[in-house]
Amino acid sequence: MRYAQIDADNICFAESEVLGEIQQADMVPLTNEEPSPLGKRWTLGGWEAVVPEPMPVVRHISVGAFFDRFGAAKYAILADQNPIAQALVKDASVRKYIDLTRPDLPYGLQMLVDIGHNIDIQAIIEAEIQNHELP
């Protein structure tokens, strides 16, 4: 007999040809003619396609790539003896990568602007990550 096995979300993850009848809540009998329901959701009305949920996006770049995003202001920021600039550079430098989605990042970058550095905060945070920028 042919069965579709569903997970806790009623999604078919297994299609099986077994020896006999199986009476189990997660086993849905299939006819031989029925197309494979793998990946579909079982409802009372039958099988329906599942719209995939968007994957959580992780936006990490290397520390070097993060500094490169300062553009022409990079060296001025790295050499700046202002305590705020020093603190921000040091804070970034000790990390393995920079998480561009951190909620405090815009505020940190704004502090650099406030002490006179001309950087594009939006571009630094939102620009598409290139392969060479990956940690």
Partner 1 sequence: MSTLSQFLGGGSAIKSIQRGSVTPTAAAGTVTISSVNTANTLVFITGMQGGVTTRSDGTNTVGGAAQPYVTALAATSFSYAGASYNTIQSSGGIQSNYTPFSWQVVEFY
41 binds partner 1 (CB under 8 A): no
The three-state secondary structure class of 27 is: strand
| Cβ neighbours around 127 below 10 Å, total | 13
Nearest-approach distance from CB 55 to partner 1, in angstroms: 5
Find the length of the chain: 135
Residues 87, 113, 123, 129: which binds partner 1 (CB under 8 A)? 129
Subset of residues 82 to 121 that bind partner 1, contact rule: CB under 8 A: 100
* Subset of 47-66 contacting partner 1 (CB under 8 A): 55-61
Backbone angles phi, psi at 63, to 5 degrees: -60, -40
Identify which of residues 58 and 78 has a Cβ nearer to partner 1 in the complex. Answer: 58
Kindly indicate which of the ranges 35-43, 71-79, 82-90, 102-110 contains the residues binding partner 1, using the contact rule CB under 8 A: 35-43
What is the per-residue DSSP string for 59-70?
Answer: -EE-HHHHHHTT
DSSP string, 57-110: P--EE-HHHHHHTTGGGHHHHHH---HHHHHHHHHHHTSSSEETT-TTHHHHHH
Does 34 bind partner 1 (CB under 8 A)? Our answer is no
* Residue 2 Cα to chain centre, angstroms: 37
Report the nearest approach of partner 1 to the CB of residue 131 (Å): 5
Where does this chain bind partner 1 (CB under 8 A)? 3, 5, 7, 9, 11-20, 22, 24, 26-27, 36, 38-39, 55-61, 100, 128-129, 131-134
